[in-house]
Amino acid sequence: MVPQELAAIVERQGRNRGCIILPIFYMVDPRDVRHQSGPYRNAFRQHEQNVDEETIRIWKDALNKVGALKGWHVKSNDEQGAIADLVTGVVWSHLTKNNNVLEIDKLIGIDDHVEAVKESMALDSPCMKIVGIYGMGGIGKTTIAKAVYNNVSAQFDRCSFVENVREMLEQKDGVITLQKHIVSNILMVNIAESIVNNSEGIRAIRDRVSRFKFLVVLDDVDETFEFEKILGNMENFVSGSRFIFTSRNIKVLSMLADDIKLYRVQEMSHQHSLQLFCNYAFKKDIPPSNYETLSNDIVSVAAGLPLTLKVVGSLLFQEEEEIWRDKLKQLKEIPEQKVVDRLKISYDTLNEEAKRIFLDIACFFVGEDKEIAFYMWSDLGFFPTTNINILNQRSMIGIVVAGSRKKLIFQMHDQLRDIGREIVRQENRRHPWKTSRIWSKEKALNVLLNKKRYNNFEILKNLNMEELGTISKECFMNLSELRYLDINVSVLIDDFGDYIPNLRWLRLRNGPSDNFNVENLVILEVSSFSCTRVDSGGLKQIKV
Ligand SMILES: *[C@@H]1O[C@H](CO)[C@@H](O)[C@H](O)[C@H]1NC(C)=O
Ligand SMILES: *[C@@H]1O[C@H](CO)[C@@H](O)[C@H](O)[C@H]1NC(C)=O
Ligand SMILES: *[C@@H]1O[C@H](CO)[C@@H](O)[C@H](O)[C@H]1NC(C)=O
Ligand SMILES: *[C@@H]1O[C@H](CO)[C@@H](O)[C@H](O)[C@H]1NC(C)=O
């Protein structure tokens, strides 16, 4: 770089403090830049022949300033890719500096937990450390992990928070998805394409991720999480990096590493519990005097679990005393350890349509756009405006703004999601193929290949028929109740519309398809727009 340019950059930064200079010392020693020694000495001797003194002084000042800045020193034997990773990452982190904050739920008394976890992390130690946070579902592990993340992330070069690891690993190629997620977060570039199998993932983590001082939080792991198979050899992580895991199961955490520091999340104190409960039941910190005894009784049976307090509190919001007594009685009948059944009280009080919407979200629509699902429920007469509102008020779902397009997406606590899925599994215990909703890839395919089928499926998701080649119309027999179909198929030749007259939402991945006629369809999503003719009455949304 010629000194005029450098001087101009420095001058510009002097005028605008928002400018950041990130120098790359390419095959030069920063000390030589700073003191104009080495190759610079000769160069300046020549400049002095034909440039005035004042300009020379400005140039020298600029070199001095930039040479003192923290930057990258690229030596001849450095790997170019590594430098690119570093530079893009740092530039990106400057651009997104304040976005590294996770939104968290209200959790009373959280500061003590954060302090305790930070202590286990031994933030001053130069070694790698692993911390495990454990406790039962609904006790607030995720919230605590997020609060810790928000509090300490600035002390690390790179950070990644992965929610719902257990769920991610249940999916096909879950390990690769998880690896891609971590690598992309840490490198701050999307490298999805370059990881095709586990060993590639481990290699990327070893070669590219491990050189940063990072914080990686893996939320909700279970026995399907195997450290070595996902992250590689622990010895690879040498710097002051930290891993935080959360789990319902202490055994899972102890198996992860010999020297893992464990932190147990204790039940909330009665005082804190009462405050949290009142926040939801009265939107106040303390109960009105006529509800004091009832509130205390309910808080006692909710056993210090924030999720239960929140769900039960929301359920009783603005309800009459009679209902309170009723619910208290119900709660008392359920043994303490049956947390799920206590939460299910809230589900049981819902109307039919709200129940169906709740189950749809639990099985399929966590993280999905509220708007789109809304069209389907609306067309089916599920009164989504009212019912989504009810679910939200009852703290059974959350709706958050996400992504650059600021769309609204559904959220659900994993414990509630598990309850929803369990309800669906129990619909017909002895005949699993008689349940209404199918979300696993293997099961979805089995359903279509099974010759014995009943008209009970409402939703099929993750149906991958690519490998089967051409699909005949007969595959869609006995699916007359189907309302949502998410399918990956190469060719759909026949018009299968007759067989699925109630389909409202079709998500076609991949496949080109011709001529289909689905009378009631309201949402069609296609990844490549190759449908030549779609006949449908009230199509509302086409997403390409
Ligand atoms: C982290 O928590 C401590 C107190 O526990 C607080 O003083 C500090 O400001 C917090 N830092 C951030 C970045 O939130
Ligand atoms: C993973 O993918 C790479 C690159 O395609 C390949 O060379 C390697 O053999 C694969 N490893 C395994 C274990 O499949
Ligand atoms: C569809 O249901 C009928 C009985 O209602 C049954 O005889 C037939 O085998 C079923 N077909 C498929 C493909 O499941
Ligand atoms: C569809 O299935 C094929 C074959 O299994 C797979 O390679 C492809 O990634 C799938 N496409 C989508 C969008 O899931």
Pocket test for ligand 1, best of 151, 152, 215 (most atoms within 8 A of CB): 151
Does 252 lie in the same domain as 105?
Answer: yes
Q: Which atom of ligand 4 is nearest to the CA of 509?
A: 13
Does some domain include residue 91? no
Q: Does the Cβ of 433 fall within 6 Å of ligand 3?
A: no
Distance CA 277, CA 421 (A): 26
What's the CATH number where 300 sits?
1.10.8
Q: Buried b / exposed e across 378-412, counting CB within 10 Å, b at 16+?
A: ebbebbbeebbebbeebbbbeeeeeeeeeeebbeb
Q: Output the residue whose Cα is nearest ligand 4's atom 6.
A: 466
Does 363 lie in the same domain as 320?
Answer: no
Distance CA 95, CA 108 (A): 33
The predicted pLDDT at position 192 comes to: 67
Q: Does the Cβ of 441 fall within 6 Å of ligand 4?
A: no
Does 242 lie in the same domain as 191?
Answer: yes
Q: Is the pLDDT of residue 532 over 50?
A: no
**Mean predicted confidence (pLDDT) in 525-541:** 57
The mean pLDDT of the chain is: 85
Does 368 lie in the same domain as 226?
Answer: no
Least confidently predicted of 51-60, 111-120, 318-327: 51-60
Does some domain include residue 90? no
Across 144-302, where does the E strand assignment appear?
A: 158-162, 214-218, 242-247, 261-264
Does 229 lie in the same domain as 130?
Answer: yes
Does some domain include residue 319? yes
Does 112 lie in the same domain as 51?
Answer: no
Does some domain include residue 212? yes
Q: What is the pLDDT of residues 368-426, one digit of tens each?
A: 999 889 999 999 999 999 999 999 999 999 998 887 778 899 999 988 999 999 999 88
Going by pLDDT thresholds of 50, 70 and 90, the confidence category of residue 96 is low
Q: Does the Cβ of 93 fall within 6 Å of ligand 4?
A: no
Q: What is the pLDDT of residues 123-154, one digit of tens each?
A: 999 999 999 999 998 999 999 999 999 999 98
Q: What is the pLDDT of residues 101-113, one digit of tens each?
A: 888 877 788 999 9
Last residue of a domain, one of 45, 76, 107: 76
The predicted pLDDT at position 246 comes to: 97
Q: What is the pLDDT of residues 155-211, one digit of tens each?
A: 898 999 999 999 999 888 899 999 999 999 998 887 767 888 999 999 999 998 988
Q: Does the Cβ of 466 fall within 6 Å of ligand 4?
A: yes
What's the CATH number where 351 sits?
1.10.10.10
What's the CATH number where 202 sits?
3.40.50.300
| Coil, strand or helix at 281 | helix
Say what the pTM is.
0.75
Does some domain include residue 415? yes
Does 432 lie in the same domain as 380?
Answer: no
Does some domain include residue 83? no
The pair of structure tokens assigned to 507 is: 């998500």
Does 251 lie in the same domain as 146?
Answer: yes
The predicted pLDDT at position 182 comes to: 94
Count of domains for the chain = 5
Task: Give the pairing of strands 459-464 and 505-509.
Answer: unpaired
Candidates 5, 103, 319, 333; catalytic one: 5
Does some domain include residue 407? yes
What's the CATH number where 40 sits?
3.40.50.10140
Does some domain include residue 339? no
End-to-end CA distance of the chain: 46
Highest mean pLDDT among 81-95, 273-287, 424-438: 273-287
Least confidently predicted of 97-101, 205-209, 268-272: 97-101
Last residue of a domain, one of 280, 306, 333: 333
Does 197 lie in the same domain as 124?
Answer: yes
The predicted pLDDT at position 321 comes to: 94
Ligand nearest to the CA of 507: 4
Last residue of a domain, one of 231, 264, 297: 264
Q: Does the Cβ of 451 fall within 6 Å of ligand 3?
A: yes
Does 282 lie in the same domain as 257?
Answer: no
Does 246 lie in the same domain as 123?
Answer: yes
Residues 6+ apart with CB under 8 A from 494: 472, 473
Quick check: 311 and 343 in contact, CB under 8 A? yes
Containing domain of residue 11, as a range?
3-76
Q: What is the pLDDT of residues 199-238, one digit of tens each?
A: 999 999 999 898 899 999 999 999 999 999 999 998 888 7
Does 164 lie in the same domain as 251?
Answer: yes
Q: Is 5 a catalytic residue?
A: yes
